[in-house]
Copies of this chain bind each other. A is one copy, B any other.
Amino acid sequence: MSEATLQLDTWIRERAALVDEALERLLPADLKAFGGVADMMRYAMFPGGKRFRPVLTIAAAEALGHDPRRVMPAACAFEMVHGFSLVHDDLPCMDDDAERRGKPSCHVRFGEAEALLAGDGLVIEAFRVAAQNASVPGVDPRNALRVVEELAAASGWEGMVGGQMLDIQGMREERVAADRVVAIHRAKTGALIRGSVRAGAILCDATPAQLEALTGYAERLGLVFQITDDLLDWGEEQESVSYPAVYGVEESRRLAQQATDESQRLLASFGVAAEPLRELARYLMRRDR
């Protein structure tokens, strides 16, 4: 592991810890009321994964010279939408996964109706939290509203949810065309990654040119994330909806490298404060898990 990687690891870990603290405060702690639904929502959010999406929101804010606190509610909102999607993804009618992050998935632990409702509670709470970003000093309420719309666009029918719909249909087929795989991934995972970065930029008063550059960066980053994710899974399970299935391993690697290179060029006009964003793309490119 290179020195650069080590520094990024620390940088990420510190931001992820801030996200954990904020989620701890933002998520309802009244565990017994309403049939324990808040407890189930917390079960789905802790312990977390890499907190990749909120860390991206923070990295975008820092690239524009702002403190993580400026964007923390929005960052947490994106993570809560991610958490909601995992709860519903694990349900028997979807992927039917009994485990998530080393513990029983939500429906195995609490029951199917309960997990459905806990997921519903999480996605709704995410929007409340996103709206609360207007209370952060210095944030223009119009920008908080834009972030609510970004969150909806990224997670809704033409974003994550639409991608999941395409994915469940694709998984039922043996062969899926390359352009469909690209479209599925762009919607299913790309849109939320793109939205996380844009939310940070919008709340930090990015200029149109800055927002455009950061959006382009985020789209490349989403691609690198997805291709390398598919390549890591490829050894275990050869899924039809994946880059190596339609492009082969070598061409997939080349596409990821190309997107990484583009991501660096798109950040050329940003200063040293954008170094974590740059390094995040390079880090994904070389990851081995």
- Contact (Cβ within 8 A) B93 A161: no
A266 at the interface (CB under 8 A from B): no
A128 at the interface (CB under 8 A from B): yes
A114 at the interface (CB under 8 A from B): yes
Which of B33, B36, B156 is in CB contact (< 8 Å) with A124? B156
Which of B91, B114, B141, B158 is in CB contact (< 8 Å) with A165? B114
CA distance A153 to B131 in the complex (A): 12
Which of B113, B130, B158 is in CB contact (< 8 Å) with A33? B158
Interface residues on A, range: 35 or more
CA distance A93 to B96 in the complex (A): 14
In the complex, what residues of B have CB within 8 A of residue A157's CB?
Answer: 28, 34, 37-38, 41, 121, 124-125
**Smallest CB gap from A95: residue in B:** B113
Interface string of A89-109 (1 = CB under 8 A from B): 001111000000000000000
A144-152, A217-225, A280-288 - the one binding chain B: A144-152
Known A36-B165, A41-B157, A113-B168; further 8 A-B contacts with Cβ < 8 A: A33-B162, A34-B158, A34-B165, A35-B168, A92-B93, A114-B165, A117-B168, A124-B157
Q: Which residues of A contact B (CB under 8 A)?
A: 28, 30, 33-38, 41, 84, 88, 91-94, 112-114, 116-117, 119-121, 123-125, 127-128, 130-132, 134, 141-142, 144-145, 148-149, 151-153, 155-158, 161-166, 168-169, 187
